[in-house]
């Protein structure tokens, strides 16, 4: 026996599906914000363009085999706590060397621990 499209079970299935979609969208928005903030830090501290900042994050993610969002979180943690795992920092510096400008003579080193 087939269901009538507007039976309560169909409505509850639809509500569940919509709630799952809302949850996924919330996660995507939160993830996007973290990545955007990390790009902003890379742009400011690495003196690169936003597009280069995105490329730097992708490179670090690919070379360390760590999800891009996690790399972004680690960069933001560096801004808050002043610490970053050495392997991430090394790869970040290498990526900035590939995409960013050369070091200005007399300027403090990028990402150095202070």
pLDDT digits (tens, 9 = 90+) for 11-61: 888 888 888 888 788 787 777 889 999 999 999 888 899 999 999 999 999
Note the Cα 20 to chain centre separation in Å: 22
CB 31 within 8 A of CB 69: yes
| Closest listed residue to residue 27, CA positions, set 37, 35, 16 | 35
The predicted model scores a pTM of 0.65
pLDDT score for 31 = 73
Confidence at residue 3, expressed as pLDDT on a 0 to 100 scale: 56
Task: Match 């992708």 to its residue by tokens.
Answer: 58
Tokens coding 3: 């269901």
Least confident of 7-11, 13-17, 69-73: 7-11
């Amino acid at each position: 026996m087939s269901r009538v499209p507007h039976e309560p079970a169909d409505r509850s299935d639809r509500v569940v599906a919509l709630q799952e979609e809302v949850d996924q969208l919330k996660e995507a928005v939160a993830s996007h914000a973290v990545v955007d903030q990390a790009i902003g830090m890379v742009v400011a501290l690495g003196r690169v363009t936003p597009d280069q900042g995105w490329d730097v994050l992708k490179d670090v993610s690919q070379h360390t085999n760590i999800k891009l969002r996690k790399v972004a979180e680690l960069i933001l943690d560096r801004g808050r706590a002043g610490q970053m795992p050495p392997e991430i920092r090394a790869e970040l510096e290498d990526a900035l060397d590939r995409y960013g400008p050369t070091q200005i003579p007399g300027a403090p080193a990028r990402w150095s621990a202070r």
